């Protein structure tokens, strides 16, 4: 196989070659299978490039118009699924350019004036990812909305808050849900920051040193909605920071989704029974008739592995590359596309899943009983009565040990019993030890008191434009 040659037509770059390319080489180097999805952005960039060439007198207006018409035709055919991609033409750029030249003749051959595939592919990827970034923001907002709607619906429901997965202090379910709203808010901010930094035109760097032809990069940048042009032609064609940064952003999104998923899996178990996921969003077992499994959150959790793989893969590809463009960089696309597809699908299904999840408020409340979750409140009560916190901690520790010995809870103790540990304890202690009393005492900014959570909820609703 390795010595076999293709019978095909000459390459766009075929001039200096005496032999045709080996078929095995064509198969090994082709990227059209996955970079075809860049076609819209490739054509968008080429159209603006052609208009710039005409403005600069590098091609005639007739040539420009022929190019624009030809490209529009190609775009329509690709969209309609009637365009024939040819693997021997390597990538999306060559497939489009060759087809253009076949259609319109010599004018097509002028499109690549003052341009290299090295700056072209950098342009295509930035344009493509810019659109994806905006879509990601929409999906994140959709998920936030699902969380906020749940937080509104269950406002007032209490549940245990955990540290070390041990019952720690009672909180509002809405407070817990809004914690995820915050995480996804940071994700949206990170994507905005990334978009602003990456929105710079690479076209005009040409192969790597710039061009001697009189191009107008600033005009192209403005036409394509970039906020500026890249500063160094060598950096421009070898830089993939923008792809890596996006992959990191995607990793945090998927990580947040994974943590949420883990909680849903746990909470859907018989041991917890905090949530009920709608039947349409669960699957059964092929052998155990009674099973209803939370496969969606499990898969979201599981897919975080491949998203991390994508980041590590591209980091390793770029590490150790000399300046400037190296063909290794073609390996940027598959991990980026796969991570994007995975995260977008996970975000969409997670929002649907939450919209089809209900909470069992009685179970949540029951779980706040037992586990001495108001022990900190008792200590704080003693502090308010002037006992140093460390001393109060000791007193409450002894009370808890006493309860454990007798197999009772804090709230089961009589006043006299408690006063044996400290005479600063009085009858008002029972308000403090109630779950609601504990929750609503936590009025510090960002705390779980109902008043605070209501404020946070209103802010989130306003930000998302959710009418009440
Ligand atoms: N398919 C290539 C890529 O994805 C396009 C750039 C090719 N440049 C080159 N000098 N071979 O990176």
Would you give per-residue pLDDT tens digits along the chain (468 residues)?
Answer: 344 444 445 688 888 888 889 999 999 999 999 999 999 999 999 999 999 999 999 999 999 999 999 999 999 999 999 999 999 999 999 999 999 999 999 999 999 999 999 999 999 999 999 999 999 999 999 999 999 999 999 999 999 999 999 999 999 999 999 999 999 999 999 999 999 999 999 999 999 999 999 999 999 999 999 999 999 999 999 999 999 999 999 999 999 999 999 999 999 999 999 999 998 888 887 878 788 899 999 999 999 999 999 999 999 999 999 999 999 999 999 999 999 999 999 999 999 999 999 999 999 999 998 889 899 999 999 999 999 999 999 999 999 999 999 999 888 899 999 999 999 999 999 888 899 999 999 999 999 999 999 999 999 999 999 987
The CATH architecture that domain 375-464 belongs to is Orthogonal Bundle (1.10)
Residue 92 Cα: closest atom of ligand 1: 1
Q: Catalytic: which of 2, 7, 164, 286?
A: 164
Report whether residue 95 contacts ligand 1, using a CB cutoff of 6 Å: no
At 301 the pLDDT is: 98
Q: What is the 3-state secondary structure (H, E, C) of the chain?
A: CCCCECCCCCCCCHHHCCCCCEHHHHHHHCCHHHHHHHHHHHHHHHHHHHHHHHHCCCCCHHHHHHHHHHHHHHHHHHHHCCCCCCHHHCCHHHHHHHHHHHHHHHHHHHCCCCCCHHHHHHHHHHHHHHHHHHHHHHHHHHHHHHHHHHHHHCCCCEEEEEECCEEEEEEEHHHHHHHHHHHHHHHHHHHHHHHHHHCEECCCCCCCCCCCCCCCHHHHHHHCCCCEECCCHHHHHHCCHHHHHHHHHHHHHHHHHHHHHHHHHHHCCCCCCCEEECHHHCECCCCCCCCCECHHHHHHHHHHHHHHHHHHHHHHHHCCCCCCCCHHHHHHHHHHHHHHHHHHHHHHHHHHHHHCEEECHHHHHHCCCCCCCCHHHHHHHHHHCCCCHHHHHHHHHHHHHHHHHHCCCHHHCCHHHHHCCCCCCCCCHHHHHCHHHHHHHCCCCCCCCHHHHHHHHHHHHHHHCCCC
Report whether residue 121 contacts ligand 1, using a CB cutoff of 6 Å: yes
Active site residue 346: no
At 157 the pLDDT is: 98
Rg (the chain; Cα; Å): 31
Residue with CA at minimum distance from ligand 1 atom 11: 327
Report whether residue 31 contacts ligand 1, using a CB cutoff of 6 Å: yes
At 332 the pLDDT is: 98
Cis omega (within 30 of 0) for bond into 324: yes
Q: What is d(CA 392, CA 376) in angstroms, rounded to the nearest whole number?
A: 9
At 159 the pLDDT is: 98
Contact 340, 135 (CB under 8 A): no
At 317 the pLDDT is: 98
At 411 the pLDDT is: 85
CB-based contacts of 158, cutoff 8 Å, min separation 6: 170, 171, 172, 173, 364, 365, 368, 435, 436, 439
Residue with CA at minimum distance from ligand 1 atom 3: 330
Report whether residue 438 contacts ligand 1, using a CB cutoff of 6 Å: no
Handedness of CA 145, 150, 156, 160 (dihedral sign): negative
Report whether residue 327 contacts ligand 1, using a CB cutoff of 6 Å: yes
At 270 the pLDDT is: 94
Report whether residue 332 contacts ligand 1, using a CB cutoff of 6 Å: no
Active site residue 60: no
Q: What is the pTM of this model?
A: 0.93
* Highest CATH level, class, for 24-113: mainly alpha
Q: Where are the domains of the chain?
A: 24-113, 118-366, 375-464
Residue 90 Cα: closest atom of ligand 1: 1
For tokens 């619906």, what's the residue? 153
* Highest CATH level, class, for 118-366: mainly alpha
Q: Which of 38, 117, 120, 237 most suits a substitution to test ligand 1, by most atoms within 8 Å of the C-beta?
A: 117
């Amino acid at each position: 196989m390795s010595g076999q040659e293709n019978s095909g037509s000459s390459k766009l770059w075929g001039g200096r070659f005496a032999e045709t390319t080996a078929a095995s080489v064509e198969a090994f180097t082709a990227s059209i299978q996955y970079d075809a999805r860049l076609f819209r952005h490739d054509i968008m960039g080429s159209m603006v490039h052609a208009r710039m060439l005409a403005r600069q007198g590098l091609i005639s207006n007739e040539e420009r118009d022929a190019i624009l018409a030809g490209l529009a035709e190609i775009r329509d055919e690709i969209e309609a699924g009637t365009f024939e991609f040819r693997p021997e033409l390597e990538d999306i750029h060559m497939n489009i350019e060759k087809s253009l030249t076949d259609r319109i003749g010599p004018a097509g051959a002028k499109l690549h004036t003052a341009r290299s595939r090295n700056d072209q592919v950098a342009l295509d990827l930035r344009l493509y990812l810019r659109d994806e970034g905006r879509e990601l923001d929409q999906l994140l907002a959709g998920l936030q909305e699902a969380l906020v709607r749940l937080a509104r619906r269950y406002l007032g429901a209490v549940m245990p808050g955990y540290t070390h997965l041990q019952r720690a202090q009672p909180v509002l379910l809405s407070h817990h849900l809004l914690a995820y709203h915050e995480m996804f808010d940071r994700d949206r901010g990170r994507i905005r920051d990334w978009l602003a930094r990456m929105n710079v035109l690479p076209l005009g760097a040409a192969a790597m040193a710039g061009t001697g032809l009189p191009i107008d990069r600033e005009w192209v940048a403005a036409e394509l909605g970039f906020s500026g042009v890249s500063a160094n032609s060598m950096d421009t064609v070898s830089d993939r920071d923008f792809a890596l940064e996006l992959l990191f952003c995607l990793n945090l999104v998927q990580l947040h989704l994974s943590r949420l998923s883990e909680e849903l899996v746990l909470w859907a178990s018989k041991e917890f029974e905090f949530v009920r996921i709608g039947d349409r969003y669960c699957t059964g077992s092929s052998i155990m008739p009674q099973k209803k499994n939370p496969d969606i959150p499990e898969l979201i959790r599981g897919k975080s592995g491949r998203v991390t793989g994508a980041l590590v893969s591209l980091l390793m590809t770029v590490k150790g590359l000399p300046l400037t463009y190296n063909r290794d960089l073609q390996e940027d696309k598959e991990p980026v596309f796969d991570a994007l597809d995975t995260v977008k699908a996970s975000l969409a299904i997670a929002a649907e899943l939450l919209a089809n999840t209900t909470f069992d408020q009685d179970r949540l409340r029951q779980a706040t009983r037992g586990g001495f979750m108001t022990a900190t409140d008792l200590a704080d009560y003693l502090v308010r009565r002037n006992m140093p916190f460390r001393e109060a901690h000791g007193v409450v520790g002894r009370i808890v040990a006493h309860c454990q010995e007798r197999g009772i809870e804090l709230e089961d103790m009589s006043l006299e019993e408690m006063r044996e540990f400290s005479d600063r304890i009085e009858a008002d202690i029972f308000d403090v030890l109630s779950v609601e009393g504990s929750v609503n005492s936590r009025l510090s900014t960002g705390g779980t008191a109902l008043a605070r959570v209501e404020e946070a909820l209103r802010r989130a609703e306003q930000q998302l434009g959710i009418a009440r």
